[in-house]
Copies of this chain bind each other. A is one copy, B any other.
Amino acid sequence: MEKNRTQFAILGMLSLQPMSGYDFRKTAGQCLGYFWQESYGQIYPALKHLLEKRYVTRRRRRSKGKPDRHMYAITDRGRKAFREWMGQPAAVEKKRNEMLLKIFFGGKNDVNAQIRELENLRETNEKLLAELKDIDDWHVRNYDHHALTPYWLITIRFGIRRISALIEWCRESVKMLRHLPREVVSSVPDPIDFYFKSRGE
């Protein structure tokens, strides 16, 4: 099997419980949202492939008023492929943070607009942090609810730490931008020596 990770994310969810493509999107959004995201454009083709390879089975379930649903369940073949994938070392994703890229080059022309963007980011993430802490609490109180609880706590705490760090960084950066030197040194001694070169590398 190739390394299409969407398929493994789906297999993983199906290993917990049978569900439809729509369910997967929704459930994954809630449980994995802060470190894994999928869109329908990937999910439905992936389910098709999984079915062809007999890693999953499909049953049509009718419902009144709503469209029919395709309920998928993992097979033994699927479970085997999933376990194999789980054993392999995790790949590291490419990092891309457009806001950082823009800040590196001097950010917005209007410093106040830049500050507002950072404040917004902080506020959004403060809400997210509160939610994650609630989820953490719930799992601590219901530690015996599911065999995977300790693992879920580990992933949640990744989110909590990462988001807390982001919030602190927003605060610090806003402070720095507020105390920016008014008259900025605009002449660079030697353009060849900018940034790293000048550190003697």
Query: Residues on A close to B: CB < 8 A?
Result: 5, 8-9, 12, 15-17, 27, 30-32, 34-37, 82-83, 86-87, 89-109, 117, 135, 138, 142, 144-148, 150-155, 157-158, 161-162, 164-166, 168-169, 172-173, 176-177, 180-181, 184-186, 188-189, 191-192, 194-196, 198-199, 201
In the complex, chain B residues whose CB is within 8 Å of the CB of A9: 101
CB-CB < 8 A to A99: which residues of B?
90
For the residues of A in contact with B, the DSSP-based class is: helix
Q: Which residues of B contact A177 (CB under 8 A)?
A: 150, 154
Number of identical monomers bound together in the oligomeric complex = 2
Q: CB distance A16 to B199 under 8 Å?
A: no
Q: B residues within 8 A CB of A89?
A: 117
Q: Is the CB of B90 within 8 A of A98?
A: yes
